[in-house]
Amino acid sequence: MKTKKKIHFEFDQDLVREPLLYKINRSFDVIVNIRGASVSDEGGFIALELEGDAAEIKRVLDYLRGQGVRLGEGLGSNEQ
């Protein structure tokens, strides 16, 4: 059963050049919808909507945590 989950994450300068979204797209069976982003040389913020099997979405979240990003629920604005 497919589900949708809205998340946001922040990352520091050392991850700016890492292709995190590319790796998610290639390695996991989820649909990634970018809802917002702000990236500079110092770090970044990305808001995503992930759609897929709940277990696969959990794998994505575990992957991101393992990369050192700070995860949050919702899109990081008033929209949840």
| Per-residue confidence (pLDDT) for residue 59, from 0 to 100 | 97
Domain residue limits at 57: 2-73
Whose CA is closest to 65, among 13, 17, 4, 24?
A: 24
Q: Does residue 78 lie in a domain region?
A: no
Measured distance CA(11)–CA(2) in Å, rounded: 28
Q: Does residue 79 lie in a domain region?
A: no
Domain count, the chain: 1
Give the CATH number of the domain where residue 46 resides: 3.30.70.260
- Amino acid, single-letter form, for residue 32: V
Mean pLDDT per segment of 10 residues, for the chain of length 80 residues?
91 87 95 93 92 96 93 71
Whose CA is closest to 69, among 42, 44, 36, 39?
A: 44
Question: Cα dist. 59→16, 18, 24, 39, 66 in Å?
Answer: 21, 18, 10, 24, 10
Q: Does residue 13 lie in a domain region?
A: yes
